[in-house]
Amino acid sequence: MLKCTLLGLAGAAAVSFGAMAEDLAIKFTLDWKFQGPTSPFILANERGYYAEEGLDVTIDQGQGSAGAVNRVASGTYDMGFADINALIEYNANNPDLAITSVMMMYDAPPFSLFSLKSTGIAGPDDLGGKVLGAPVFDASYKLFPAFAAATGVDEAAVEKQNMDPALREAMLVRGDVDFISGHYFSSFLDLKAKGVSPEDMVVMLYADFGLDFYGNSVIASPAMLTDHPDKVAGFVRATYKGLRDVLADPAAGVAAVKKIDPLIDDALELERLQLAIDTNIITDYTKENGVGDVDMDRLGRSIDQVAASYGLTSKPAVETLFTSDFLPPAEERMVADAMMQ
């Protein structure tokens, strides 16, 4: 029988479904809170898929992708879920302590810009002379220079205003800023919650404008890759089982998350999860090739785009950033068919 242990500060912050005493303990950090899109990990834990691989996994919520990368880099955590673009920045600055991605979850990134039709903005051509609002650490904000370069926007003509994440969508609705950057499945729902109809939103997904960015992936510490490669592969296999189950029954994924954080809004998180599935996980590429692997040429181009946006003086080699060595065979990664069940 599975054993559930809850740990936390200011509410549920971690969950562990333990197995046998001899199983390898793995501390896994999320990039953010317990939400619908993180349900594949939660459900895999709840249903014993990690335990079947000889793993005793503890899952902690996070405070951003950069923090998740640093947690794994410091050795405090063994594995994590983080934006690979944060990993590019870390590896560029720490080439001798590089962290590796072992499974790509978001083939299309959630990076986006939002405006309202009332601003007169219809697309990138209208952004010059407007005010962009976002937290300074927001990934879409940090990568805006690449979006501007790809779409011909004069970045110097865009005024930028930074604020706390909780104020971002409210400031757009009040007219304090003309457009905002943020994760698609978060800003979309936050604007809806503030009474904005989807028909009144202007959405610009970076993936729709020729940018090669990937999104969140599973990362592992050098120690895990060196000392426990079989367990890394086992973790990835179990995660695929959780992902397949969530694709087949998204409500079950949200129900598992609610057991960890009873305060979540079920309907909201189900919608957030479905947006992530439809926009970030299931793409033309993953339908054909399966979830988890990357196109190394595309990843190389994304490294160039990140380096230009972040002003990096060096770039990590593609081979140090991602490995497919721990992925199961392609036929086991063709999970899109789970949605047809």
Residue in the structure block whose two tokens are 């785009």: 305
Judge contact between 130 and 158, C-beta under 8 A.
yes
pLDDT digits over 15-63, tens only? 555 445 579 999 999 999 999 999 999 999 999 999 999 999 999 999 8
Burial class (CB in 10 A: 0-12, 13-18, 19+), 195: exposed
Of the CATH numbers 2.40.37.10, 3.40.630.30, 3.40.190.10, 3.30.559.10, which one belongs to the domain with range 111-209?
Answer: 3.40.190.10
Contact 272, 37 (CB under 8 A): yes
* Reported confidence tier of residue 273, pLDDT bands at 50, 70, 90: very high
User: Mapping DSSP to helix (H, G, I), strand (E, B) and coil, where does residue 108 land?
Assistant: coil
* Statement: residue 151 has pLDDT above 70: yes
CA dihedral sign of residues 164, 167, 172, 177? negative
Question: Where exactly are the structural domains of the chain?
Answer: 3-108+214-340, 111-209
Is 80 in contact with 232 (CB distance < 8 Å)?
no
Q: What percent of the chain has pLDDT over 70?
A: 93
pTM metric for this prediction: 0.90
Instruction: Indicate whether 266 pLDDT > 90.
Output: yes
∠ at Cα 173 (171, 174), nearest 5°? 65
Q: What confidence tier does 4 reach under pLDDT thresholds 50, 70, 90?
A: very low
Confidence bin at 338 (pLDDT 50/70/90): confident
Domains 3-108+214-340 and 111-209 share a fold: yes
Query: Which bin fits 144, alpha (ψ -120 to 50), beta or left (φ > 0)?
Result: alpha
Task: For residue range 215-256, list pLDDT tens digits in order.
Answer: 999 999 999 999 999 999 999 999 999 999 999 999 999 999
**With 90 as the cut, is the pLDDT of residue 341 above it?**
no
E strands, the chain, are: 3-7, 14-18, 24-29, 55-60, 79-83, 100-104, 111-116, 131-134, 159-162, 179-183, 201-205, 216-220
The full DSSP string for 17-74 is EE--TTSEEEEEE-SSSS-GGGHHHHHHHHTTHHHHTTEEEEEE--S-HHHHHHHHHH
User: Three-state SS across 71-92?
Assistant: HHHHCCCCEEEEEHHHHHHHHH
Question: Residue 172: which of 185, 144, 152, 191 has the closest Cα?
Answer: 191
Tracing tokens 């793995």 back to the chain, one arrives at 26
Burial class (CB in 10 A: 0-12, 13-18, 19+), 157: exposed
Which pLDDT value is given to residue 12?
A: 43
- Structurally, at CATH architecture level, domain 3-108+214-340 sits in 3-Layer(aba) Sandwich (3.40)
C-alpha closest to that of 188 among 169, 164, 211, 207: 169
pLDDT of residue 5: 37
